[in-house]
Structure 1
C-alpha cells in the first residue's frame, strides 16, 4: 500500500484563519477558512489587534473541522506546515504556536513556509510545475516578480517600491465609498466603464522590473478631491476603469518584458489580486501575443486569497526538500525571498 503524504497546514498571516489537509502536495482534502472581513470593514482595513483576537478564537475550531472534513486523525499525518512570514506579527504567532504545539504533541515534523511561496503553489492545484518558471505575485501587501529556476528556488527580480497593487485598490476604494476589501467591486465597476482619465503608468518605461503605485493612488485621490471642490460628479465606473487600466497596463508590460529577459516554460499569476478579471484577461492576451510558448497558470479563484491549502502545497515541497523547524520557530513579519544576484 502506497503511503499517503498528508500535510496539516496553518495560515494566519493577516485576517483569515485557515487550516487545511493536503495530500501529496496537490489534492485538497479540506480547506477551512474563517474570515474576519465583517469585523474590519468598519475600520476600512485590517486592525492587527482585532485580527489576532479572532485567530485565537478560531484556530482550534478550524483545526478540528479540517481534520474531520478530511476524514483523518493526527496519527495519519505526515507533517505540520505553517506560515511564519511575511504578515502581521500577532496574527502569525497564533498559527505558529498552534502548529508547534500539534507537531510537538504528536511527534510530527514541523515545516516552515513562506506565505508568498504558498501563493505561488496555489497554481499547483491547476497543473504540475515545469521549470524554469516566473511568478507574478499581486496581493494586498506584495507586488513582485519571482523567478524560479528550479523547484524550491525563489528569486525576486522585481518588486513594488511603495504601495502594493492590492493596497492601492483598497485606498482608492475607500475614496469611492467602497467597503473593505475593495478589489472585487473596483474590478466589477471597471468592467462597466472606460479609461477616460488616463492616469499615470508609473515606471512602465524604466529599465528595471520594479513597480510603483503610490503616484497613481495620489493622482486618483487628487482627481476625486478636485472634482468634489468644484461640485462635479465623476462617473464611478470610468474612475474605476481608469485606475484599473493603469495598474493592469504596468503589471502586464513589466511581466512581458521579464519574459523577454528570462525565458521560462510557465508563468504563474497568484495572490489576492490574481482574482481580478481585468488582469487575467489582459495578461492572457499579452502572453498569447508576445510569448505563446509560455503556459499561463492562474491560481484558482478560491485559492487566490489567503488560505491554508496553498500553504500545504508549498509545505509539501519544503518537506521533501528537508525544511524543518523546532520549538524555536518564530514569526518573521518581514520575511522575503532572496533577490536575484546578477551573474558576471
Structure 2
C-alpha cells in the first residue's frame, strides 16, 4: 500500500525557487515567521532561507496538563490564546528584524487538535492581512520529516519514522516534495496510548513521576519492571505491511490493570510490558471509519466553457466541444477518473454514484465501462434552462438509491493540488464524527482579495466551525478569505435537511437553489459544519481555468490516483 503524501513546500511557497520583492530587507533576502499551535506548545521562530534560526520562542503547557493526566483540548486552546501574542513578539524581537521585514508567514494548519490549530490559524491570518504577507499552510508532520536536514547533511532518499503525541508514520523521503507513505497508525498514536495507560495507573501521583508526561513516566518505571511477566503476543502480526495500531494494545492493558491492580509490583511490571509491546508492535487494521457513500455532481451543461470553445480557432480545443466538463482530458485522463481512482482506495465502487443530465448521459455510460460498478443516472433534463440544480440532483441520488449513510459530495469539475490526500480528510472527519455524529466537514483554502466576489466565503470561529457563508461578497464586506470548493462530507443525520431545504425553496428561482453553496449557507445555521484547510483547488468553469488545470497536471501530477 503505497501512496504519495506530504507536500507543503511545493504548493504554498517554495523557499528555494520563488522570490518575493521585499525592498525593506537588508540582511536577509527571504525570511519566514513560523507559528506552531498544533497541540500543547505555543511556538514561533524566524528562519532565513538557509535554515538559520534568527529568533525563536516557546511556551510549554506541560505543567498544566500534568495536573490532569493529559491534554484537555479546551484548556490547551485557552493557554494558546493567552500566550501566542507574547511568544510571536518575543521570537520576532530576538531575531533583530521587524514583522514588516518578514517575507511570509507559515503556520501549522494540520494535523493536530482542532481547537489549538484554530488559535494559530486565526492569529496568523490577522498578521497576513495586517502586514500584507504571503501565507504558507504547513502540515506539521511533513515539517518534522524534513527538520533533520536543517541540522545534518542528510541526502535523499531516507527512511523516516515519525512518532509524536498524535501520530505514527513510516515513510521514505525521496525529495523536498516527494514522500512515499509506507505505513501509519489507523487509530491512535503510541503517545496517546501511553498517556491513557499512565492516566489509568495514576502515575502522576507518584512523586518521581510528578513532573513527567505519561510516556516519560512509563519509560522511567519500566526500567525497574519485568517485561516478560505476562506472555502477550502483539496483535495482528500476520499482516504483511507497515501499518500500526495501538488502540487494541491500550485496551488490553487497561483490562490487565483492572484485573491485577491489587497485586504488588503491578505498576513497574506493567509499565515494562506496555513499553515493550509498543516497541515491537507492527500490525495493520483496515481504516473502517464510518460507512459513507460518494456522490459526484456532474449534471451541469458547461455553458461558459462551450462559449469559450466556440470562439477559438484551434482545432485541438474545438474538438472538446460536446465533452462534459467532468470528462475533459486532464493530462490525458478524464477529469472525473482522478476521483474514481482515489475513491477505489477506501470505497466500495458500488458506493459511488454519479448524476448527470440527459444530454451527456450516453457519454458518461461509455466512460463508466471502465468502472462497471459505479452507478450513473440522468436527471432527465436536456437543456441548461430546464436543469434541476445541484442540490436537487443530490436529493435525486439520495431518493433513487435510498441512501441512509453519510455521504461525500464532490463537484465533478473540481480537482485539488497535489498535496491533497483524501484519506487525511476522511480521518479528520472520522474524529469529528466520533465526537458529534451530526458534524459535517467541508474544505477551505485562502483566496485572493479580488476572488471573494467569485466564491462563497466562510466566516469561522476558533474551533474551526463555520458560523456563516457569504455568497460572493466584496472584499470590503468580509475580513475572511476562506473560500469553499464543492467537496462536502455530510453526516447521515444531515440528509433529511436536503429535502427540507428544497421544500423551503420550491418557489424560489433556480439561482437561489442551484449551487450547493446555497444549501451549505442554509445548513450552517442548523447543523455543526467544520472546515479542513487545503492549499488550493481547480474549478473548471471556463476555457482559461481548464487550460490552467491541464497545464498544472502535465507538469506536476504523475499518477492517476494522486488524490488518495
TM over 0.5: yes
For the structure 1 residues 224 and 17, does the alpha-carbon distance in structure 2 shift closer, same or farther, using more than 3 Å as the test?
same
Paired position in structure 2 for 1:217: 250
Residue 23 (structure 1) aligned with residue 48 (structure 2): yes
- What is the DSSP-based 3-state SS (H/G/I as helix, E as strand, rest coil) of the residue aligned with 1:148? strand
For the structure 1 residues 27 and 205, does the alpha-carbon distance in structure 2 shift closer, same or farther, using more than 3 Å as the test?
farther
Q: Is the 8 A contact 2:227 2:270 kept in 1?
A: yes
- Pairwise CA distance, 1:14: 1.6
Residue 103 (structure 1) aligned with residue 128 (structure 2): yes
- Pairwise CA distance, 1:104: 2.2
Paired position in structure 2 for 1:328: 481
The equivalent position to 1:135 in structure 2, one of 157, 160, 163, is 160
For each residue in 1:297-332, what CA deviation from the matched residue of structure 2 results, as whole angstroms up to 9, or x when unmatched?
A: xxxxxxxxxxxxxxxxxxxxxxxxxx9876635996
Aligned pairs, number? 268
- What is the DSSP-based 3-state SS (H/G/I as helix, E as strand, rest coil) of the residue aligned with 2:32? strand
The equivalent position to 1:240 in structure 2, one of 256, 268, 271, is 271
Larger Rg: 2
Compute the TM-score of the two structures, normalised by the length of structure 1: 0.69
For the structure 1 residues 111 and 25, does the alpha-carbon distance in structure 2 shift closer, same or farther, using more than 3 Å as the test?
farther
For the structure 1 residues 43 and 102, does the alpha-carbon distance in structure 2 shift closer, same or farther, using more than 3 Å as the test?
same
Whole-angstrom distance in 2 between the partners of 1:166 and 1:173: 10
- What is the DSSP-based 3-state SS (H/G/I as helix, E as strand, rest coil) of the residue aligned with 1:238? helix
Whole-angstrom distance in 2 between the partners of 1:250 and 1:325: 43
RMSD across aligned positions (CA): 3.0
For each residue in 1:184-229, what CA deviation from the matched residue of structure 2 results, as whole angstroms up to 9, or x when unmatched?
A: 121122233331234332333411111111222122122221113x
Matches within 5 A, 1:185-264: 185-196=217-228, 197-228=230-261, 231-250=262-281
Paired position in structure 2 for 1:44: 69
5+ long unaligned stretches in structure 1: 255-322
For the structure 1 residues 340 and 18, does the alpha-carbon distance in structure 2 shift closer, same or farther, using more than 3 Å as the test?
farther
Whole-angstrom distance in 1 between the partners of 2:200 and 2:74: 24
Compute the TM-score of the two structures, normalised by the length of structure 2: 0.44
For the structure 1 residues 72 and 3, does the alpha-carbon distance in structure 2 shift closer, same or farther, using more than 3 Å as the test?
closer
Residue 114 (structure 1) aligned with residue 147 (structure 2): no
Paired position in structure 2 for 1:176: 201
Q: Is the 8 A contact 1:11 1:82 kept in 2?
A: yes
Whole-angstrom distance in 2 between the partners of 1:206 and 1:138: 21
Paired position in structure 1 for 2:118: 93
For the structure 1 residues 329 and 59, does the alpha-carbon distance in structure 2 shift closer, same or farther, using more than 3 Å as the test?
farther
For the structure 1 residues 133 and 328, does the alpha-carbon distance in structure 2 shift closer, same or farther, using more than 3 Å as the test?
farther
- Pairwise CA distance, 1:138: 1.1
Whole-angstrom distance in 2 between the partners of 1:128 and 1:37: 32
For each residue in 1:238-261, what CA deviation from the matched residue of structure 2 results, as whole angstroms up to 9, or x when unmatched?
A: 32221111111236x99xxxxxxx
Shift >4 Å, 4+ stretches: 323-327, 329-335, 339-342
Whole-angstrom distance in 2 between the partners of 1:216 and 1:200: 10
Decide which moves more: 198-207 or 47-56: 198-207
Whole-angstrom distance in 2 between the partners of 1:128 and 1:217: 38
For the structure 1 residues 233 and 42, does the alpha-carbon distance in structure 2 shift closer, same or farther, using more than 3 Å as the test?
same
Whole-angstrom distance in 2 between the partners of 1:213 and 1:67: 40
